[in-house]
Structure 1
Amino acid sequence: MALLPVTTNRVSTPLNNQRLLYQLNNDQLAIQHQYDQLSTGRRVLRMSDDPAAASRAIGYQRGIAYSDQLVRNANATEAFYQSTDVVLDRVDNALIEARGAAVEAAQSVLSEDQREALAMTIRQNMESIVAAGNGMFNDHQLLGGVLESGAALQFENDTVRFNGTGAVGQTKVGTGNAETFTVTGATAIGIGGTFQTGNSLNAAINDDTRLVDMRQGIGVNPGIITLSDGDNHVELDLRNAATIGDVVDVLRTVELGGRSLGVSLGADSISIQYGDSLPGTLAVIDAEGSTLAKDLGISNPMGYRSPPLVGDRLSPRVTSSTKISDLGGGAGLNLANGIVIQRGSESFTIEFDDAETIGDVLIAINRSDSAVHAELDEIQGRINLSGLISGVDYSVGENGGTAATELGIRTADADTLLSDLARGRGLSLNPSGPDLVITRPDGIDLEFDLEGAETIQDVMDLVANHPDNQDTRRVRVALNSVGNGLQLTAPTGTEPIRVSQPGLSDAGVYLGWIEEGQSEATAQTNIGVSQLTGEDYSPRDAGGAIDTLLRLEKAVRDGDISEIGRLQAQLDDDLDTSSRTRGRVGVWTQSLIETRSAIEDETVLLKSQLSDELDADLATVISELGARQAALEASMRFIGQASNLTVLNYL
């Protein structure tokens, strides 16, 4: 509390008055400041009151505001979790009830009315799942994709179409990564799930391949390397290299002892040697902190490896901008004639005449009317296909070319396992005789035992290598050039080709040659050729709980006990999928509650520290206020005494 010294007689009257008034004003301001502290409870009211404390307080206030926002985010996220749990509970109950109906329908002694009643029960459960799948909270779809306000699931005749997306909402509720607050229909009920996982597109590197895309997306880090022939050293700064071509161009400029370097790129490799192809020491050393040579697989610090130095496994990841000419190990893909997508009884031809990149292929498929969604798996370098309509079969085949095979998305090819036929049930073989009989047009029976066959190619080899099928009138077997299936052809004879399945065998049916419910099939004759064109032997379910229930409803009405049994197992998988998703939501909720509690505790601590910096100690303020008032009274008394002057004071 500052006080000015008492005036003296040697001080002039104006200066004396100024000093007295300053003291009075200072006391009044101090008292007003004390009153402000009492009325607000704050010690620091402006930055100038205590700059250090005010600066710390601003940091605390910022932290409190951030924590409060995190708590609000957590509350909103918890509400989404609770709504999702309600939806998934409805799905679980519907699947459990449908599972019970399926078990009852698996009996062979039910009447038509009983089967119809069970089918209607299954239908109601399916509609309940559709309604749950269209559940919304706060104007967002819970299962159909965040930011989607329309119905995600829509009935179309006897099918259900998925119009949603796989987008999920994320928010920040802690200091770590963003938390997901919605789930997708694919993860919850399998809708819009993948029905075909493609094969690797086998991308090759070229001069334009980015370093960050190499090694399947792991990347190659630019850096500094040193090359040496034992006597001479050359340091190369490649920190600004963006593509493998940049690296190659710089390496080709190097000369060691008058010998240039020969650098070449393979489909997934780089090779370095002397340009004259003669032996010699060629050391490649990473500078400190650099991993370029190691990443490229050409590191040879001691020169022990003789040239050529070959670094492999450098294949780049496949992105939507990857050129079709760079796929297939660098040979490119032949997409002439396009592909055929079969959806139920409808067929869709998709052409890629204008496609230059893999992204163009995806766009062509996604913009078709086939209700198939194509997505690129960049990590694995392959295309995955999802069916958007439940209750129908899907297949992807050729349209007279090899596009589907080269893209790795043909659903029925020579590598298809026989155990995957009949929708995963495999073939039933004849225990007391041949499993399949093909009668040639000249009347020769070709009998086949499929016991040791594992793939479609094995069946094709059995036909081609049968000892009674080696002459010019032999039966040939090949994959259909359009769509999927197996085709048998032979020169015409007295009778057309005939295929039969003796005894308990169903091989002819599930290889696509014989209609279900029949035991044999006869070929057609066309311009001197007997030809039997088989159906697709590996149609794919769209997948998901709704697709399962639609198929189960039909199987119950038809009394198809075998199909009901298969779908029971599928229902178990669907229930497991839904339950696991619900369990994950529960785990997320528990983790969220714990995180929110920690944030609230942190907020309390921040507020305590803020109070320590800003809040006033009322006892101290009241004590100082009394002292200030006494000082003010003393100042006023002194001013009165000092101002009470007469002429006698100057005599």
Structure 2
Amino acid sequence: MSSIPSHLARVPNNLASKIILQALQRTQASILTNQIQLATGRRVNHASDDPLATSVVSVLDDVVERRGQWLRNLSHADAVLNNVDAALADATDLFIEAKGIASSQVGVGSDTDTRRNQAAVIDSLLIELFATANRDYQQVHFFGGSATARPPMEQLLSGYRYTGQGAGLANDLGMLNPINITLSGEDAFGALSARVTGNFDLDPTLAIDTRLVDLNGARGLGVTLGEVNIDVGGTLSTLDLSTAHTVGDVAAMLEAEIQLTDITATVVISAGGNTFEIAGAGPVTITDLTGATTAADLGLDIPGGFPGPAMGGNDIDARITDQTLVTSLPGLTQPLGTIRLSNGGQVRDLDLSTVTTVRELRNAVESLNLGIRVEIADTGDRLNFINELSGGDMSVAEVAGGLTATELGVRTFATWTRLDDLNDGRGIQIRSGSVDPITGLPDPAADIDFRIDLKDGSALDVDLAGAQTIGDVLDAITAAAAVASLPVTATLAADGNGITITDATVGTGDTSVTAQNGSFAAEDLGMVGSTGGATLTSEDRATVAVESVFTHLLRLRDALLTDDERGITLAAEKFDRDISGLAEARANVGVRSRRVATAVLREEDLRIQDMALRSQVQDLDYTEAS
């Protein structure tokens, strides 16, 4: 007789059916899960399948995706660098051809017509070089530095101006040390700007609204704000200057603190405009807390302190900024006058009398569109004039006896101009140390560099031995005139640039300058010539040119057109340096390309490893599933 097993409880039929139904549903769900896993090949299809595995897979998905993007970026970088290398190779070929042309046009075997024809070939090379400099790949210009969206070279006046900026474009390549995939114009084609560095510290004076961040500070390290100790006649206090923003803020806070003890005390900017001046009924000493530098930076921590009568601290050296008033530059005659700017064959007289700030001065110069701009020196104490025009010869000169360019320290032909900087850095050739071939003794007469013939028939011989600056040349001429007791003076040109020789003798002859003893000094100074008037002014040989590949090609073309064999030789000498520079740029690109290729292999291997690890966690083991 059958019976119900004792281990089964008595349950209602409805409950039993539900239990059996749930078991069937679980079985069906398991079968469905297995079917989905078999269909997709994945063990984990939903976060609920395995939360821990899902978390791991999510991290690995992100890693794999990033590596995939890095590989795409590396592929793009490799393509760009390959194209950059090809462009540099083409540029090198251009200069090898130009060098060959220059070499073939020196000496016998060439004439004026041949050189003129070769000048046309150089023109075509310039066009090719311009196109090469503006090459791009997928709208990424190779030689624009970090400004890759626009062509980096543009034609301006009779030359070429570089408009790129930065050292190069760095993409996210997944590398610890980023790689620039483009080059700056300077790296590829040499210096693309030249500067006239201001010769003077313009030493701007302080104002109450001068910002503390615009101070070099008494230590030359800027100003670090914090607390200072103040001793007013033995009464000690501490003042926190960390909330000050301007020179006026510091003066007001110091004065208020000191007046708590000495009501007569004042803190002002000194009459010289470069220090804080403190006066009062008794001594005031301001020092730094241990390890701090605020008082020292503000020029207040001075030996013995401030004794009572008005006394200034140390110079806190204000920097020039765009907001600096020109009236705060003590070395300038106010209002400013007119300066003459020349570049690319164009000459402009710029009236600066209405300029009130450094920013306005910079805008005024740049508005001439001569390829000249003004920058504030990194030291913050002077202005530099920058020539951005390859092929242009920049000069900054005075107009009608003015002094503005001189006082700004940017006149290109000034007493401080070094002779080594003349003629595009070639300098001048001065005879010295001549020896008599018969006696073997020094021969001073053979060291004479040039002769000045005067209107009255007399002559003045000038020896420039030892001269290093334009001022030395002026002194040498003046000294020779004094020794010969002749009324001759040599000064800087009052209008424009050059050396003006004034002949005060009376006669019907011409005033002229001729070279002596085979010296090139007079020619290199641009002084060879004659005049029927009382003054003879030399050429301006102190122009500032950009030492770039474009300039050198333009120099060669012009020398060929003017049948200037010496100029052809000088231009050809520059090509060796240009070719070497292009080879260095190609080597630099090659190193970057090699790093990119190595990174591609590494990223591909790592991506495969990450995908394999993800597969172990996420994918289905068919044997186990079956």
TM-score with structure 1 length normalisation?
0.77
Deviation at 1:89, TM superposition (A): 0.7
TM-superposed deviation, 1:87 = 0.9
The corresponding residue for 1:584 is: 588
Note the alpha carbon deviations across 1:250-292, whole angstroms, 9 max, x for none. Answer: 33333499358765667896558674564x76431157xx654
What residue in structure 1 maps to residue 437 of structure 2?
none
Displacement after TM superposition at 1:82 (Å) = 1.1
Judged with a 3 Å threshold, the aligned counterparts in structure 2 of structure 1 residues 251 and 77 are, in CA distance, closer, same or farther, namely: farther
1:75 aligns with 2:75: yes
Letter aligned with residue 84 of structure 2: T
Structure 1 equivalent of residue 352 of structure 2: 352
1:516-595 matches, within 5 Å, as: 520-524=529-533, 530-556=534-560, 558-595=562-599
| 2:356 counterpart SS class | coil
Does the residue aligned with 2:555 lie in a helix, a strand or coil?
helix
How far, CA to CA, are the matches of 2:600 and 2:494 in structure 1?
60
Other structure's SS at 1:396 match: strand
Question: What is the Cα deviation at residue 451 of structure 1?
Answer: 0.6
Deviation for aligned residue 1:462: 2.9
Q: Helix, strand or coil for the counterpart of 1:509?
A: helix
Match of 1:54?
A: 54
Q: Distance in 2 between matches of 1:202 and 1:174?
A: 47
Deviations 1:53-83 (A, max 9, x none): 4344434433333333233222222222111
SS in 2 for 1:39: helix
**Deviations, residues 441-497 of structure 1 (Å, cap 9, x unaligned):** 5655433211122111112223444563798x8333322233211223355633477
* Amino acid in the other structure paired with 2:386: L
For residues 410-435 of structure 1, give each alpha carbon's deviation from its aligned partner in whole angstroms, at most 9, with x where no partner exists: 22111112233344333334551532
Q: Counterpart of 1:413?
A: 414
Pairwise CA distance, 1:149 = 4.9
How does 1:372-451 map onto structure 2 within 5 Å?
Answer: 372-378=372-378, 382-388=383-389, 390=391, 392-400=392-400, 401-429=402-430, 432=446, 434-439=448-453, 445-451=459-465
Per-residue deviation, 1:538: 1.4
- Comparing 268-277 with 220-229, greater Cα deviation is found at 268-277
Shift of residue 355, structure 1, vs aligned partner: 3.2
Matching residue of 1:486: 499
CA contact (8 A) 2:37 2:620 kept: yes
Q: Secondary structure at the match of 1:587?
A: helix
Quick one: distance in 1 between partners of 2:202 and 2:607? 53
How many residues align? The count is 594
The answer as to whether partners of 1:228 and 1:284 remain within 8 angstroms in 2 is no
1:371-419 CA distance string (max 9 Å, x none): 33445554565424124252x4332212343333344432211111223
Give me the whole-angstrom Cα distance separating, in 2, the residues matched to 1:150 and 1:318: 33
The structure with the larger Rg is: 1
One-letter amino acid of the structure 1 residue matched with residue 524 of structure 2: Y
Answer yes or no: is the 8 Å Cα contact 1:271–1:310 preserved in 2.
yes
After TM superposition, give the deviation of residue 197 of structure 1 in Å.
Answer: 4.2
1:459 aligns with 2:462: no
Which one-letter code corresponds to 1:220 in the other structure? V
**In 2: Cα distance, 1:405 partner to 1:240 partner:** 40
Counterpart in 1 of 2:255? 252
Contact 1:397 1:404 survives alignment (8 Å): yes
Alignment of 1:253-332 (within 5 A): 253-255=256-258, 258=261, 275-276=280-281, 278=283, 282-286=286-290, 292-293=294-295, 296=298, 305-307=303-305, 314-315=316-317, 318-326=320-328, 328=329
Match runs of 1:22-101 below 5 Å = 22-101=22-101
- Structure 1 window deviating more from structure 2 (538-547 vs 176-185): it is 176-185
RMSD after superposition = 4.0
Q: In the superposition, relative to structure 1, how do residues 374 and 53 fare at CA in structure 2: closer, same or farther (>3 Å)?
A: farther
Larger mean Cα displacement after TM superposition, 362-371 or 210-219 = 210-219
CA distance in 1, matches of 2:569, 2:259: 73
- Cα distance in 1 for residues equivalent to 2:245 and 2:186: 38
Distance in 2 of aligned mates of 1:481 and 1:226: 55
Identity of aligned residues (%): 26
Amino acid at match of 2:403: T
**1:263–1:270 Cα contact (<8 Å) kept:** no
User: What amino acid is aligned across from residue 71 of structure 1 in structure 2?
Assistant: L
Deviates more, 1:58-67 or 1:112-121: 112-121
**What is aligned with 2:442?**
none
CA separation in 2, counterparts of 1:385 and 1:182?
24
Q: Is the 8 A contact 1:80 1:182 kept in 2?
A: yes
Q: Give me the whole-angstrom Cα distance separating, in 1, the residues matched to 2:144 and 2:85.
A: 15
Whole-Å separation in 1 of the counterparts to 2:313 and 2:593: 48
Pair 1:475-2:488 in alignment:
yes
| Conservation of the 8 A alpha-carbon contact between 1:80 and 1:181 | yes
Query: Structure 2 residue aligned with 1:242, among 242, 245, 255?
Result: 245
- Counterpart Cα distance in 2 of 1:176 and 1:342: 47
Paired with 1:272 and 1:618, the residues of 2 have a C-alpha distance of 89
Letter of the 1:587 counterpart: V
Report the Cα offset of residue 601 of structure 1.
4.5
- Whether the 8 Å CA contact 1:497–1:531 is kept in 2: the answer is no
2:165 maps to which residue?
Answer: 166
Q: Distance in 2 between matches of 1:323 and 1:365?
A: 17
**Aligned CA distance change for structure 1 residues 382 and 113 (closer, same or farther; 3 Å):** same
CA distance in 2, matches of 1:277, 1:476: 58
Counterpart of 2:551, as a letter, is D
| TM-score, with length taken from structure 2 | 0.80
Q: CA distance change for structure 1 residues 282 and 371 in 2, over 3 Å: closer, same or farther? A: closer
Distance in 1, Cα, partners of 2:176 & 2:354: 44
Distance 1:584 1:23 in 2: 72
Distance in 2, matches of 1:138 and 1:127, equals 22
Report the AA paired with residue 485 of structure 1. Answer: G
**Alpha-carbon distance in structure 1 between the residues aligned to 2:586 and 2:256:** 61
Q: Residues 295 and 349 of structure 1: is their aligned pair in 2 closer, same or farther, counting only changes over 3 Å?
A: same
8 Å contact kept, 1:166–1:184: yes
Could you tell me whether the CA contact under 8 Å between 1:273 and 1:307 is conserved in 2? no
**Change over 3 Å in CA distance of 1:467–1:494 after alignment to 2:** closer
SS at match of 1:258: coil
Query: Does the 8 Å contact 1:440/1:474 carry over to 2?
Result: no
Deviations 1:503-552 (A, max 9, x none): 323333333333xxxxx41252xxxxx23233213133343222212222
What residue is the counterpart of 1:636 in the other structure? none
* Equivalence for 1:643: none
Deviating more after overlay: 411-420 vs 489-498: 489-498
Q: CA deviation at 1:556?
A: 3.8
Deviations 1:534-593 (A, max 9, x none): 321313334322221222233245443322332222222222332222222222222333
Secondary structure of the corresponding residue to residue 500 of structure 2: strand
Q: Which residue of structure 2 aligns with residue 500 of structure 1?
A: 513
8 Å contact kept, 2:374–2:383: no
- Per-residue CA deviations over 1:110-133 (Å, capped at 9, x if unaligned) read 444654565455445444323322
